[in-house]
Structure 1
């Protein structure tokens, strides 16, 4: 079934007659939508974890080849991300991670402090012991990466994202979490300019201090201290990125 469905999708992509005889077109649509959802999830994770940098370009064909699917689900996934301001389509139909002007970066930083601060305060009150342990586990992974002789910036970024999102999920406010995720779709690539600035940045930055303070406050059930540590984390990372003078005016 999987082989036939993939072929049907390619037929639709190529504009030929459609699925093979006997294959229900409703099944084709369902499977295609499932593929689009999977591709959307993969691309979203790429952006959230900062594995794509501002200005980085892709082609639909290149993305389809890398993911191992036809262009149709990739096109649908990209369209969703464009609507969320996470990607943009250029006149030559290339897909680009948007550049982030300094003013917009500063605006998003203020909004993040508000929304993520609220999620952090709420998580302190609502998190289960298991959820606290999950956040602490990601904090340890980040600290372990930071303590390596040559820290991997990409790995540090993933651990950082996982820590923050585990904390925000623990607030049990799905609408707020969705709003934060939308912000991270835009801000995630800019974090390339922080953790991937080089091993020294991972070692010498303040993120591990802020993370440890967040976990300590979470375990102590101290909402104000947790929010203070979270805001300091966002603000110090933002100051470093702004100091590099690589964001356009």
Structure 2
């Protein structure tokens, strides 16, 4: 595997960057619940840092539309609407299908082995009823897959979309984790890996679309909204 294709191992170089990455992971794990607000000071105390790096990190995350700064200087997750969810769905399908089609040509046996490893951890989170790990490792599986496409422009856009939807997926997955049909997601990841092994980009794009649509439908059902076809 070319060194350019390997998953990034760069560690954040500044405290501000570390705080930003910690908050991003917290959002992707569903730690920020929709409808619940927190203060800058509360986050600073949680992370054991001063207000300055927290303030700058939150500024970046509000720019990415992951969080919203309220008038009382509290932080919350922006509300979801049926129209916004539909837009997120369409954007994810378009961008992630593109990233996957670029990536498949660069995934050699070593890269494929790493994807299997991430998926095994994802499977373990299901067995352990670990909702946070399940959500995060699902995104991580997709991120590692797309990373081999070397999409410098597209990947930040994809991750911004994930940040906007992750807190709401926490609501859905807390409900579904104990149900046997929840394991369907694992089957889809295995099917994606099979498509990669067979070098079938059309099948991979179809499975990406189906996987995203499944998550959207669950959220729509949880919210009592019309289900996408």
TM-score bracket, normalised by the shorter chain, equals 0.7 to 0.9
**Are 2:30 and 1:62 equivalent residues in the alignment?**
no
Number of the residue aligned with 1:170: 148
Query: Partner of 1:151 in structure 2?
Result: 129
Deviation at 1:60, TM superposition (A): 0.5
The CA distance in 1 between the partners of 2:192 and 2:29, in whole Å, is 20
**Aligned Cα RMSD in Å?**
1.8
Output one character per residue of 1:123-176: Cα deviation in whole Å (capped at 9) or x when no partner. Answer: 111223222212111112222333x2x522222112211111111111111211
| Residue in structure 2 matched with residue 115 of structure 1 by the alignment | 95
Matched-pair contact (CA < 8 Å) for 1:112–1:180: yes
Compute the TM-score of the two structures, normalised by the length of structure 2.
0.86
Distance in 2 separating the partners of 1:200 and 1:210: 18
Trace 1:25-44 onto structure 2 (pairs within 5 A).
34-44=14-24
Q: Secondary structure at the match of 1:53?
A: coil
Deviates more, 1:226-235 or 1:49-58: 49-58
CA contact (8 A) 1:60 1:95 kept: yes
Deviation at 1:198, TM superposition (A): 4.4
Kindly state the Cα deviation for residue 199 of structure 1 after the two structures are TM-superposed: 2.8
- Of 79, 89, 105, the residue aligned with 1:125 is 105
Count of aligned positions: 212
Distance 2:98 2:39 in 1: 38
Check conservation: 1:142, 1:160, Cα contact below 8 A: yes
Say if 2:194 is the partner of 1:216. Answer: yes
Structure 1 distance, partners of 2:222, 2:152, is 35
Output the CA distance in 1 between the equivalents of 2:208 and 2:31: 22
State the 4+ residue runs in structure 1 displaced beyond 4 angstroms: none
Contact 1:154/1:195 (<8 A) preserved: no
SS at match of 1:95: strand
Contact 1:128 1:170 in 2 (8 A): no
Higher relative contact order (CA 8 A, sep 6+): 2
Tell me whether 1:204 sits opposite 2:204 in the alignment: no
